[in-house]
Structure 1
Amino acid sequence: MRCSKLFIWKLFAGRFFGWLAGAVFLSQGVLSASVQASPVWKVSNGTETVYLGGTIHVLAESDYPLPGSFQQAYSNSEVVFFETDIEVQSKPEFAQKLVALTSYPDGQGIDSRLSSDTLQKLNDYLQSRGASLQALRRFRPGMLAMVMTNLELQYQGMSGDGVDQFYTNTAIQDGKPRGQLETPEEQIKFIASMGQGSEDDLIDYALQDMYKMREDMLAIKSAWREGDRQGLREVALEPFRENSPEVFNTLIVERNNNWLPQIEQMFVTPADELVLVGVLHLVGKEGLLQQLEKKGYSVTQLN
């Protein structure tokens, strides 16, 4: 499977517009299993515990209720950490900052940075989804590609909140303290830098993947629900690494390395924490789970 760098970012790295949702993808066989693993792990050093939950930032109504392990970890934790502050991202002033930093200056646009073939395909695609190239031409490639993904998901009738939003709302309602591993401004930088210098490649690649989105979501969500580390590597992580090594390093490896010391620091606090991050940050050789295992922490998958 060849998952786009854009699609992976949208699913596993952050949430900026209340984007994305899945339709009914999981089979009854998966959902009806009496005993199944889950995308939540208990990590301990013998005396202190941190729960790591792998999230997808897009879910359908049929994906609820979430695996019970999420609620178990949430109930056992005094603090919940997210990738970033979703509440801040929902504010109008943040949206204004996002658009400003991911747009070209006046008089410039993506159209002058694309080949005639890619430009024509982009224009045709946008028209087919009821959008206008003229209205979007000032977006830098990463932002434009993400808008295209949102258009495609809306066109396919997908909408809804994922795990991060669900537990942000739950923590606010319960008055449970929340933390973040990076600032919303840091996440904007990732979008603004995507595709710079390779605009044609990124947009052409994203256009090819628009029509595979439903198929990709099916495989990823099935592996996610079961906490299938090997399956997630095969269907998403390794294709991402192979097709977009530079973006993979920026969005997955560097951020994991930034987050790991913060997570380790949680083991010296008296409170138990739940850390919710995109599930691809947990798996693979650079993933948080394997890095913690190598450091000698006990890692147990919850059912």
Structure 2
Amino acid sequence: MKKFLSLLIALVMALSFATGAGAASKPLSIWVDGEQVQFGSNAPIVEKGTTLVPVRMLLEKLSFKIDWDEENRVVTATSTNPRNEAIISLQIDHTTAYVNSKPQQLTVAPKIQNKATYVPLRFIVEATGYEIDWNEAERTISIDTVQESRGFMWKVEKDGNTVYMLGSIHVANEAMYPLRDEIMDAFMEADHLALEIDFTKEEDMTAFIDSISKYQDGTSLAHHVSTETYQYVTELLTDLEYPTYALDQYKPWFASIVLDSLRREESEYKSELGIDEFFMNLAEKSKLPIIGLENSQSQLNMFNNFSDRIQEEMLVGSIISFYVEDEPVRDLSDMWINGDLDTLTAMAAQTQKADAEYYKAMLQDRNVLMAEKIDAFLKDGKNETYFVVVGALHMAGEHGLVTLLEQKGYTVTRV
């Protein structure tokens, strides 16, 4: 069952620096991408448990241009890196700073000392999108460029039309970003973004969801799952401090979705950080047209049409996720960051082997329909570029989109 849980989740796919008064005399050193920052006489200082550094020396190392407003005593840092559009403003002796015009509260106000402007190190690093690490034994602070996620992307071309296919993860954490340049460049080329579902155009689904997720015949969840499974449900709801009957009206597949949603509330992996959501938000901001390859009704009907066995396994898997020590999505996330195609392909094969009904409905049948729409994009004769983002498992394996398009005669190249 734990194996099934991992497959299902795959598809659904404070740091401060302080030293005490009696700290070791070894001087504090700061390194950026392996190179030590030379502060000279203006060494970092610690005030109220917060490390402050000369802003110009540090931010110039982080590819920022520095401007100083003498009259208002405001320092403004503007990124010179096209992938990072951050603009940071700080005012001497004020604890409110601004990142892209949004206010941020500082633990310690910027100050001028020895004719240099000192700012809180932690705030600067977080605002500029770098990773930071403190080695207490060596008294070193390491600031490193965040590893760009490789992900899974392919390119298909025909008669002037181009389709980029990005295999995504539907739930992710902040460590997933930034994405590598090739992915972002492909998105910037696109005339259209295609997602599994275009949520920007979805109508209110409440009535439809109620009609298929709840029992209409007077029965309840306890009548459709084993006594043991229902006991697991009531025990979990008790642990979560919900009424034991809270899920009684729902079918197992929807109860599973409800529990998965509750589980993610305590997890760093969230749907709002998913790759699909990331590009949908970018497309909305840039007014890029969005195409839905499917719709919510089709996906919900798929779950509703699962056999009682599959639905109960989904529910049990969701319950187990609350009691496993490790975050089940972490391995999937690492696979995506590293672009590990061998593991992705093995996962698709394992899903097929684990359960034929689940695999056919969740992947095989949907892949055929997606491949037909991508084929239509390539044949529309408009000389346009489409950026397609669907779950990564739709890409791999003998029934994956890459294979299906190759069977249609296309050359599919991983980018």
TM superposition score normalised by structure 2 = 0.61
Distance 1:88 1:100 in 2: 21
* Equivalent position amino acid for 1:218 in 2: R
**Identical aligned pairs, as a percentage?**
23
Does the CA contact (< 8 Å) of 1:53 and 1:274 recur in 2? yes
For 2:372, which of 245, 261, 274 is the aligned residue? 261
Pair 1:67 & 2:186 matched = no
Give the structure 2 partner of residue 231 of structure 1: 343
Distance 1:7 1:44, change over 3 A: same
Matches within 5 A, 1:184-195: 184-195=296-307
Does the CA contact (< 8 Å) of 1:43 and 1:298 recur in 2? yes
SS of equivalent residue, structure 1 residue 135? coil
Distance 1:87 1:204, change over 3 A: same
Distance 1:228 1:198 in 2: 29
Pair 1:291 & 2:404 matched = yes
Matches within 5 A, 1:188-267: 188-196=300-308, 199-212=311-324, 214-234=326-346, 236-267=347-378
Distance 1:197 1:57 in 2: 25
Distance 1:154 1:227 in 2: 27
* Equivalent position amino acid for 2:294 in 1: E
Matches within 5 A, 1:146-185: 146-156=257-267, 158-159=269-270, 160-185=272-297
For 2:218, which of 83, 87, 107 is the aligned residue? 107
Work out which structure has the larger RCO, using CA pairs closer than 8 Å and 6 or more positions apart in sequence: 1
Q: Following TM superposition, by how much is the alpha carbon of 1:130 offset from its aligned partner in structure 2, in angstroms?
A: 3.0
Distance 1:206 1:37, change over 3 A: closer
Q: Following TM superposition, by how much is the alpha carbon of 1:282 offset from its aligned partner in structure 2, in angstroms?
A: 0.4
Give the structure 1 partner of residue 156 of structure 2: 43
Distance 1:66 1:211 in 2: 32
Does the CA contact (< 8 Å) of 1:84 and 1:181 recur in 2? yes
Q: Following TM superposition, by how much is the alpha carbon of 1:210 offset from its aligned partner in structure 2, in angstroms?
A: 4.3
Distance 2:151 2:317 in 1: 32
Residue by residue, what CA displacement relative to the aligned partner does 1:118-137 show, whole Å, maximum 9, x if unpaired? Answer: 21112112222233331211
Distance 1:262 1:141 in 2: 32
Q: RMSD of the TM alignment (CA)? A: 2.6
Does the CA contact (< 8 Å) of 2:224 and 2:308 recur in 1? no
Distance 1:133 1:224 in 2: 37
- Comparing both structures, which one devotes a greater share of its residues to helix? 1
Q: Which region of structure 1 is more displaced relative to structure 2, 283-292 or 225-234?
A: 225-234
Computing the radius of gyration from Cα coordinates, the structure with the larger value is 2
Q: Following TM superposition, by how much is the alpha carbon of 1:216 offset from its aligned partner in structure 2, in angstroms?
A: 3.1
Give the structure 2 partner of residue 7 of structure 1: 9
Distance 1:86 1:280, change over 3 A: same
Q: Which region of structure 1 is more displaced relative to structure 2, 275-284 or 239-248?
A: 239-248
Does the CA contact (< 8 Å) of 1:129 and 1:155 recur in 2? no
* Equivalent position amino acid for 1:260 in 2: A
* Equivalent position amino acid for 1:77 in 2: A
Matches within 5 A, 1:69-84: 69-84=182-197
Q: Which region of structure 1 is more displaced relative to structure 2, 122-131 or 199-208?
A: 199-208
Give the structure 2 partner of residue 280 of structure 1: 393
Give the structure 2 partner of residue 55 of structure 1: 168
Residue by residue, what CA displacement relative to the aligned partner does 1:209-240 show, whole Å, maximum 9, x if unpaired? Answer: 54448443122112222332211123x32332
* Equivalent position amino acid for 1:119 in 2: Y
* Equivalent position amino acid for 2:3 in 1: R
Distance 2:11 2:250 in 1: 17
Does the CA contact (< 8 Å) of 1:141 and 1:202 recur in 2? yes
Q: Following TM superposition, by how much is the alpha carbon of 1:254 offset from its aligned partner in structure 2, in angstroms?
A: 0.1
Distance 2:227 2:252 in 1: 16
Residue by residue, what CA displacement relative to the aligned partner does 1:119-172 show, whole Å, maximum 9, x if unpaired? Answer: 111211222223333121111111111212222222445434211111111111
- Comparing both structures, which one devotes a greater share of its residues to strand? 2
* Equivalent position amino acid for 2:12 in 1: K
TM superposition score normalised by structure 1 = 0.82
Distance 1:212 1:70 in 2: 34
Distance 2:350 2:239 in 1: 28
Does the CA contact (< 8 Å) of 2:321 and 2:328 recur in 1? no
Q: Flag structure 2 segments of 5+ consecutive residues without an equivalent.
A: 14-132, 134-144
Matches within 5 A, 1:116-155: 116-155=227-266
Q: Flag structure 1 segments of 5+ consecutive residues without an equivalent.
A: 12-27
SS of equivalent residue, structure 1 residue 168? helix
